[in-house]
Amino acid sequence: MNNILNSIKLDYYILKSSDFRRMIIISIVPLIAGVLSKDPLLILGLAMMTSGFFMGTIFAVIEKSNLNKLYGVIPVEKRQTVIGRYVFTLLAGIAIAAAGTILTLIAAFIMNIGISSFAFSAWLGGSFLLYCFLISAQFPLYFVVDYSKSAAFANLPYILLILIGVFFIKKYPQIFTQSVAFFTHYPYLIWVIGILGALLLLGISMAISIALYNKHEL
Amino acid sequence: MTNAIEIRELCKEYTDFSLKNISFDLPTGRIMGFVGQNGAGKTTTVRLILNMISRSSGSIKLFGMDNIQDEQKIKQDVAVVFDDTFFAESWKVSEVEKAIRGFYSRWNSDLYHKYVKDFNLPIDKRVKELSRGMKMKLMLAVAMSHDAKLLILDEPTSGIDPVARDELLDILRNYASDGEKSILFSTHITTDLEKIADYISIIDKGSIVYTGTKSDLLKQFPNESSIDNILVSISKRKI
């Protein structure tokens, strides 16, 4: 347990050392997009999405700074490193969701735009699920292949998800309207699916990462 | 006499290179020079000792424990210096400690700051702003701040100037002076070893061609004046 906490702390310092300008851009873009589109909820959605991509930066720093050697030297099990990274990413996701929510509410207040609890729940639950999906799709690959070689492939599941989503909405629009009607009746299910779905995705992805990383030579 | 390192019949197969039946012992409290030309298998052996790569066969024991089964316990007592840093380039010298001290149960912050001061490392400078010699000293400061019983150095002097190399040798002498700490010093610059090594292991094309005391090695080659000349002589014999 102690080493998992140490791994979380190490990941914090690794992410902190990454390109700070990129972090600022990532924080500002959702804000500008939300204000310009006059849709404050876009701030929350975009913040979660861009952060989902940005978390892979940990692996970019590891590659650039030879940190794989560090992981070969310090007394930490590979399993603990993987668990630590997923927990750190989950905690970061929760923090970003909280910050995004606050910014969204402030923007809505300033622009005098009302947000229904249903719309808010749908965006928050959906964007958190998307964030966890992005992490789950990218991390197993990043644990075994250098970031510079795998970054392009790691985003493929996300692109595939969008294509499949667009296809289904166009082909079967009734599914979309039925889903909206269903969740309007059972709004609490948005939270249940968002949180449980996100944790399930992360859990499966983490198990795959542990299995792959244990066989990976540093 | 107990051994800090015991390696027996160690093999590692790659498509273009093999490590063949490596065996040697490093007695506790001694300094061993691990010598060989570039590509001879020194770094592969070090990586196998640290379980960074998997072995094909053989055994590695550190302090009498298996390096895979007891890896975490062993690594509390092992410190490593590589040819280049393994810290994030943007970390400050102070952040290096914050990031990794938690992993070591016997980490001594006061000692780390003492080494940083003694080595003239600027605490607020970033790793990327340090010279090669300073980077090596930073790795040494980290390595020596958790009371490690075994220090492994893999080509630490390559690319650094003679003054910094001499400083390193002084630091190592002090480190091993209590007779309880052992050092495995992998290098192709043999002049460094003439000054401090008690034992020498010579590796050539993936095989150990000599392992024993430095004095025995020099006796076996009475016509050669240095380890460097012995290395040349050995490689000529093999040809």
- Residues in Cβ contact with B191 at an 8 Å cutoff, skipping those fewer than 6 apart: B226, B228
- Residues in Cβ contact with B196 at an 8 Å cutoff, skipping those fewer than 6 apart: B31, B169, B172, B173, B185
Domains and CATH numbers, chain B: 1-77+149-158+178-239 (3.40.50.300)
What span, in angstroms and rounded, lies between the C-alpha atoms of A30 and A46?
Answer: 5
Contact status of B50 with chain A (Cβ, < 8 Å): yes
How far the first Cα of chain B sits from its last, in Å, is: 37
What span, in angstroms and rounded, lies between the C-alpha atoms of A44 and A31?
Answer: 9
Domain boundary assignment for chain A: 2-215
Contact status of A67 with chain B (Cβ, < 8 Å): yes
- The answer on pLDDT for B237 being more than 70 is no
Q: Give residue for tokens 């991509």.
A: A53
Q: How distant, in Å, are the alpha carbons of A74, A90, A121 from that of A52?
A: 28, 10, 19
pLDDT in tens, B161-177: 788 788 888 888 888 88
- Whole-number percent of chain B with pLDDT over 90: 62
Chain B residues with CB-CB distance to A10 below 8 A = 99-100, 102-103
Contact status of B52 with chain A (Cβ, < 8 Å): yes
In this prediction, residues A8-33 reach a mean pLDDT of 82
Contact status of B99 with chain A (Cβ, < 8 Å): yes
Q: Output phi, psi for B199, to 5 deg.
A: -125, 155
Q: How many CB atoms lie within 10 A of CB A37?
A: 12
- Residues in Cβ contact with A96 at an 8 Å cutoff, skipping those fewer than 6 apart: A47, A48, A51, A131
What's the pLDDT at A218?
84
Question: Could you give the 3-state DSSP secondary structure of residue B133?
Answer: helix
In this prediction, residues B58-67 reach a mean pLDDT of 95
Contact status of A199 with chain B (Cβ, < 8 Å): no
- The answer on pLDDT for B93 being more than 80 is yes
- Whole-number percent of chain B with pLDDT over 70: 98
B3 touches B27 (CB < 8 A): yes
Structure tokens at A206: 């983490």
Give the pairing type, strands B65-66 and B207-213: unpaired
Cα–Cα nearest to A131, from A86, A180, A189, A167: A86
Which residue has better confidence, A196 or B191?
Answer: A196
pLDDT in tens, A73-109: 999 999 999 999 999 999 999 999 998 899 899 988 9
Taking CA atoms, what residue in B is nearest to A5? B102
A23 touches A54 (CB < 8 A): yes
- Whole-number percent of chain A with pLDDT over 90: 40
pLDDT in tens, B15-43: 889 999 999 999 999 999 999 888 889 99
ipTM of the complex: 0.89
User: Smallest CA–CA separation between A40 and chain B, in Å?
Assistant: 35
What's the pLDDT at B238?
57
User: Smallest CA–CA separation between A85 and chain B, in Å?
Assistant: 14
What's the pLDDT at B38?
84
Q: How distant, in Å, are the alpha carbons of A17, A69, A169 from that of B87?
A: 10, 9, 48
What span, in angstroms and rounded, lies between the C-alpha atoms of B185 and B200?
Answer: 9
Please state the pTM of the whole predicted model.
0.88
What span, in angstroms and rounded, lies between the C-alpha atoms of B227 and B218?
Answer: 8
- The answer on pLDDT for B156 being more than 80 is yes
What span, in angstroms and rounded, lies between the C-alpha atoms of B42 and B35?
Answer: 7
Highest mean pLDDT range out of A145-149, A179-183, B9-13, B185-189?
Answer: B9-13
pLDDT in tens, B193-231: 888 889 999 998 899 999 999 888 888 888 787 888 887
| B239 confidence band (pLDDT: 50, 70, 90) | very low
Q: Give residue for tokens 């930490």.
A: A76
User: Smallest CA–CA separation between A23 and chain B, in Å?
Assistant: 15
What span, in angstroms and rounded, lies between the C-alpha atoms of A185 and A192?
Answer: 14
Contact B100 A66 (CB under 8 A): no
What span, in angstroms and rounded, lies between the C-alpha atoms of A182 and A177?
Answer: 9
Q: What is the DSSP string of chain A?
A: -HHHHHHHHHHHHHHHTS-HHHHHHHHHHHHHHHHHTT-THHHHHHHHHHHHHHTTHHHHHHHHTTHHHHHHHSS--HHHHHHHHHHHHHHHHHHHHHHHHHHHHHHHHHTT----HHHHHHHHHHHHHHHHHHHHHHHHHHHHS-HHHHHHHHTHHHHHHHHHHHHHHHH-HHHHHHHHHHHHH-THHHHHHHHHHHHHHHHHHHHHHHHHHHH---
